[in-house]
Amino acid sequence: MKKPGFTLEQLRSFIAVSETEHVSRAAATLFLTQGAVTQQLRHFERALGLRLLERDGRGVRLTDAGRSLAVTCRAALRALEVLEETAHSMRQLESGSLHVGASPTCASYYLPARLADFAQRYPAVELSVTVEPSASINAQVLAGAIDCGLIEGLPLPGLTTKVLAQDELVLVVHREHPLAQLRRVTSAQLARFRYLGRGPSWSAEQQVRDMIGDAYDSSEILNLGHPEYVRAAAIAGLGYAALPTLAVEAELESGVLVRLPVASNRRPITAVRRQAASGPTLEQFWVLLTGEAPVAEARK
């Protein structure tokens, strides 16, 4: 096997700068001088033969090549961390780390209790959570940048999966909105009003399209990104929205929001991980998360 032309320190420096987009801040997190980090970045770019960063005011930003390599670099570093954890005999989980990814809905309603159970059992394990749309969590789990994830909708091929629950999307609107007065709502009526969406990169949008049909393309759309922003906009009366039942239970009960008479859409909440066996930290969390045996044991 050919020896890499770069060092682990250069890899760590690039990851730190890519996450902070600032050399001095990255240096502080690494307990190095700014000059040392700058030198490592230059050596790393020279070893790869690629321009990874460019100046942006007082900070830096990733080039297209840098963005493409950042996820791969995080995956490589994570693989090395898993190797170190396993080598230090973590069967008792007296140390180590766990990096979990989750979509916003999963992070709000399905992950906390399960993560709290794990933290109570293994308090010495360092926990970190990445909250991004399901598509991003899918990709990062497949790449190995994070250990496992909770997503809505379909997982990517090649991942080990387990459906944990069924989440229900319902159409809601403020009680004083004109739509709230209707006993029957058609696509044509929805199309007259503003739809509060997340944006095209969010998996829930395809389910909403299935729910409201032609109104999805006919309505004025205000994309707000995070579901909590969508919920706040609906409460403010800016338009109608599709949100998880769990997210609007209190508002529906108090009457601030009204559920529109449109069929709901159910979507699976799925745990995903790579197929290969991993370190003991992930294997134990997977058992608590899904009730299934670790990957290595399941293949015996």
Q: What is the CATH number of the domain that holds 28?
A: 1.10.10.10
**Position 178 in a domain:** yes
Q: Quick: pLDDT tens for 31-77.
A: 999 999 999 999 999 999 999 999 888 788 899 999 999 999 989 88
**Position 148 in a domain:** no
Place of tokens 């190995």: 144
For residue 289 the two structure tokens come to 């998360």
**Position 46 in a domain:** yes
Burial of 91 (C-beta count, 10 Å sphere; 0-12/13-18/19+): exposed
Element containing residue 247 per DSSP (H, E): helix 245-254
| Pairing assessment for the beta strands 265-274 and 148-152 based on DSSP bridges | antiparallel
Q: Which domain holds residue 184?
A: 165-266
Q: CB within 8 A of 136, min separation 6: which ones? A: 101, 201
Select from 126, 134, 129 the least CA-distant residue to 159: 134
**Position 11 in a domain:** yes
**Position 183 in a domain:** yes
Domain boundary among 73, 98, 116: 73
Q: Quick: pLDDT tens for 277-297.
A: 777 889 989 999 998 766 555
Domain boundary among 54, 73, 92: 73
Q: Quick: pLDDT tens for 79-98.
A: 888 777 766 555 567 677 89
- Structurally, the chain folds into a number of domains equal to 2
Q: Quick: pLDDT tens for 141-188.
A: 999 999 999 998 889 999 999 999 999 999 999 999 999 999 999 999
**Position 114 in a domain:** no
Q: How far apart are CA 202 and CA 147, in angstroms?
A: 21
Helix, coil or strand: residue 123: coil
Q: CB within 8 A of 244, min separation 6: which ones? A: 105, 109, 167, 168, 169, 170, 227
CATH number at residue 247: 3.40.190.290
**Position 87 in a domain:** no
**Is the pLDDT reported for residue 300 higher than 70?**
no
**Position 66 in a domain:** yes
CA atoms within 13 A on the CB side of 104: 15
Domain boundary among 57, 73, 89: 73
CB 44 within 8 A of CB 11: yes
Q: How far apart are CA 204 and CA 169, in angstroms?
A: 9
Select from 159, 196, 195, 174 the least CA-distant residue to 295: 159
pTM confidence score: 0.66
Q: How far apart are CA 190 and CA 188, in angstroms?
A: 6
Q: How far apart are CA 156 and CA 137, in angstroms?
A: 10
The length of the chain in residues reads: 300
User: 207-231: buried (b, 16+ CB within 10 Å) or exposed (e) per residue?
Assistant: bbbebbeebbeebebeebeebeebb
